[in-house]
Structure 1
Amino acid sequence: MKLFSILRNRKFRLRTFAVMMSIALTIILTNTSASSQTPTTRDPWLWPFSVTSIWNMPIGSGARYIPANIQKAGWFGVDREYFYKLKASDPSRLVYSPGSWTKRCSGTNSMNISLRVPDSLIVPDATLNPYSTPNNASAFLQPDGKTLVQLEPLARCEKGGPIYGWRYFPDLSLYGEGIGGAHFGSGLSSIGGSIRKGELTNDQPIRHAIKLLFWGKKYYYYSSSRPGYRWPADRADSVASTSYQGTNYAFVQGTLLAIPPSVTESSLQLQTPGGKKLFRVLQNYGGYVVDDAGWDAHYMAVEQGVTEEFKAKYGYDFENWTGAFYDDVMKLYKALNIVDNNSPTTIGGGGSTRRAPLAPALPPSP
């Protein structure tokens, strides 16, 4: 009887253990499935623009890929962008055009608009030593909850003082297509396609196209028949005719780049969580060329604060010239191809299917 009791207890414990493991596995699988499910709603401020916007449309099965021949760069960095939701209770401050690219807070020409911003808001001017002239593309959501005012390069040097930046016109709706904006090298959006805070550190995929910058002297093409840009861009840099010296006719401002479906995380031997997340967004949505890096660097456009939270999460810098994450990112850039049939009627290359589900519909506009 004693032996039988021992065996029975052992069987009970084993059965209990198996049940508990099954429950735990079910919870894990459920949570994993839930974390990857497509949302049914979205916050227009955090995930803006229409379902059919270039920023929200996944790559299509009809995409025609051609080589981009992007090489390793000496530096990987970010093009920081600044986004603000304005409150009617904040003071109204005038906006002026920058005095110059290097002395932005010296401008005196009005941009014919005032913005309600807190007096504490400061965005530093450019500096010559060390040399730093960031684009500082920016977007201000007006208190009406839908109107976007876009400026570049944003600067505000004094608390309570005026704001500086060239204004993109016309203002756009957060609920519209969202193509145009204050990336004045291309005329593309300041806020559409930006990697937002939380997107590199949470457990969700990035569900929109991103924005990329390369060295125009090395990569961007210019000729009379293709003057440095293509749809959806509506312009190139003012010095494009002399500064763009690339030889690939398809590689210009507005070009959509993506990683072909034949390439995998395994084939690239990616090592880092950040590298793998960027791989997925570049394969499923791609990235648009929006400005000139100006030197031997590859940039991605991110919301101010992204690099700080990235380092806090992973323990290493997003911007770098060495290390495992830098190596991963360089592999991604080298794997990029041009989606040469991206057009107003075939966004992302068109086709019968998409590499990711479409964005959920926006709530009604205010």
Structure 2
Amino acid sequence: MRALAPRSCRLVLAALVGWCSPIWANDADKPAAAAPPGRFSPGERPFSATSSWNTPIAPNARFARIDWPAGALFGVAWSSYSPAIHVSSASDPLVSVEHPASWGRPAGILSIRIPADADGAPGTDGELLVIDGSTVHNFWQFKRLGAERATAQSYAEADLLAGSGWGRRSPFLGAGIVAAGASQLAGLLVQAETDRGEIAHALQIAVDAAYARPGRDGEAIASDGRNPEGLLQEGQRLAIPAAIAMPDGLSPLGQKVFRAYQRYGAFVIDVAGGVTNVRAQANAYDEATIAALQRDLARLSPLLQRVEQPAD
């Protein structure tokens, strides 16, 4: 059973004040969650400051409209097809995870401490993220076989402090298990971060497979688009132009997503069946927050446009 974040007066208050959360003029001004040196806390912004995930849209960027079909569906993946985040500790069981060769890594058995309740997410992808120090381990089709044994059908890892969040094309090496080869933590909605303040990075989007063209763009190292008549390629950056006003009536989290879409945009990193989704941490948030965000994204996502090269 998927664990939900506990409700408390403090979280309710955080949700209420989210309506007027400050927009930080400089990311350095943002308060950061405390973490020991060499370790990463889920409340922090992942990856290096120079990563494209953490780089704002250029003020002179050009935009190209996306001809979303009238029946296009938009939403948020949360209860399935989105990973839980677990932070390993010395008291967790030492689990041997057997995996085949994938994303430039040989087949092998990874030994890592994983909380006893951690398992793959609902859905055929069975994703799981485990943070160990400054490394995020990305598993696809993770299956717990016992307290100290598990299997995964694909595996990759990324450095949360110095890495870019993207894979490497040559020699080929994935940073995560999404189709573009990026870490699945890159661009994920994480409650510890959104409770603290604004979203200070680009978001990740899994585009409806019907709209995904073959080939990759930007820093993607792979892709699984199949429709030659599709609208987008994996690796492309989308954003809402700054001239577009925020729609009225958005939820607190929806407002933060809108501001992130305008300042940092989103990267297409995977495909989904029948819907274009952002992804939210599975073992966090609550149903009311996600339901409100689902309604917001039906209004916000059609506003996204492709980010082209800056104007000369």
Unaligned runs of 5+ in 1: 1-31, 99-108, 127-131, 342-348, 352-366
Is 1:255 matched up with 2:236? yes
The match for 1:244 is 227
CA distance in structure 2 between the partners assigned to 1:305 and 1:125 by the alignment: 10
The count of aligned residue pairs is: 267
| 8 Å Cα contact 1:186/1:290 also seen in 2 | yes
- Describe the shift of the 1:135–1:245 C-alpha distance in structure 2 as closer, same or farther (beyond 3 A): farther
- Describe the shift of the 1:198–1:168 C-alpha distance in structure 2 as closer, same or farther (beyond 3 A): closer
Aligned with 1:115 (options 112, 122, 128): 112
The match for 1:362 is none
The match for 1:293 is 272
DSSP-derived class of the 1:281 partner: helix
Amino acid at match of 2:117: L
CA distance in structure 1 between the partners assigned to 2:31 and 2:311 by the alignment: 23
| 8 Å Cα contact 2:93/2:114 also seen in 1 | yes
- Describe the shift of the 1:135–1:90 C-alpha distance in structure 2 as closer, same or farther (beyond 3 A): closer
Amino acid at match of 1:244: N
Aligned with 1:333 (options 295, 301, 304): 301
CA distance in structure 1 between the partners assigned to 2:120 and 2:142 by the alignment: 9
Larger Rg: 1
TM-score, normalisation: structure 1 = 0.64
RMSD across aligned positions (CA): 3.0
1:298, distance to aligned residue in structure 2 (A) = 2.0
CA distance in structure 2 between the partners assigned to 1:204 and 1:178 by the alignment: 21
The match for 1:277 is 256
1:60, distance to aligned residue in structure 2 (A) = 1.4
* Deviation digits for residues 328-351 of structure 1 (CA, Å, limit 9, x no counterpart): 31221111001122xxxxxxx599
1:148, distance to aligned residue in structure 2 (A) = 3.2
The match for 1:105 is none
* Deviation digits for residues 65-101 of structure 1 (CA, Å, limit 9, x no counterpart): 1112234544623142232322344332211238xxx
The match for 2:30 is 39
Amino acid at match of 1:96: E
1:269, distance to aligned residue in structure 2 (A) = 3.8
The match for 1:204 is 197
The match for 2:185 is 191
The match for 1:234 is 221
* Deviation digits for residues 278-316 of structure 1 (CA, Å, limit 9, x no counterpart): 11111111111111112x2121122222342xx3xxxx3
| 8 Å Cα contact 1:65/1:338 also seen in 2 | yes
TM-score, normalisation: structure 2 = 0.74
The match for 2:13 is none
Q: Structure 1 or 2: larger helix share?
A: 1
| 8 Å Cα contact 1:90/1:116 also seen in 2 | yes
- Describe the shift of the 1:327–1:39 C-alpha distance in structure 2 as closer, same or farther (beyond 3 A): closer
CA distance in structure 1 between the partners assigned to 2:120 and 2:241 by the alignment: 40
CA distance in structure 1 between the partners assigned to 2:183 and 2:302 by the alignment: 25
Match runs of 1:1-366 below 5 Å: 36=24, 38-39=29-30, 41=32, 44-45=40-41, 46-71=44-69, 73-74=72-73, 76-78=75-77, 79-97=81-99, 111-118=108-115, 120-124=116-120, 132-136=123-127, 138-142=128-132, 145-168=133-156, 171-180=158-167, 181-200=175-194, 202=195, 204-217=197-210, 219-222=211-214, 227=215, 229-237=216-224, 240=225, 243-248=226-231, 251-265=232-246, 268-294=247-273, 296-308=274-286, 311=287, 316=288, 318-319=290-291, 325-341=293-309
